[in-house]
Amino acid sequence: MQNLEIKGSHGDYDVPTVSFNAETGVCELKGESYLEKTAEFYDRLLAWLDEYMAGGKPITFNFRLSYFNTSSSKRILYILLKLKEYEDNGGQVATNWYYDEDDTDMEEEVEDFRIISNLEINAIPDSSLRWE
């Protein structure tokens, strides 16, 4: 299985950086997610997760998003639900969400995701995500 690497970009639309490591099981989604073709982008991530999870190995998912729009939010929830399903079926899952400690909106979003997905999400303040 191949790693999944997507270099983030900024422009009219913002693409998050993706780093999914097939050897270590550490997956990271970083930056801003304001995409033109949100479903297409996230469907690749979900397909990679399906393939990885078929191997039954532990997974650590790190979110380091400073912003995401509504359509991205829906796809992020799909990722969280997939992680929860994997965990419910015996998979080992750790989910961490790093956020700017001054961003109370993001902190509330993480709590909403935790409630909706019923997945334990470690909310971790990180000043490096502060908007400039």
Q: What is the CATH number of the domain that holds 111?
A: 3.30.750.24
Query: Whole-structure pTM over 0.85, yes or no?
Result: yes
pLDDT digits (tens, 9 = 90+) for 43-65: 999 999 999 999 999 999 999 99
Residue numbers of the domain that contains 57: 4-129
Burial of 86 (0-12, 13-18, 19+ CB in 10 A): buried
Q: How many CB atoms lie within 10 A of CB 16?
A: 27
Number of domains in the chain: 1
Across the beta sheet with 122-125, the strand order is: 4-6, 17-20, 26-33, 59-68, 93-99, 122-125
pLDDT digits (tens, 9 = 90+) for 15-54: 999 999 999 999 999 999 999 899 999 999 999 999 999 9
The structure tokens listed for 11 are 């422009």
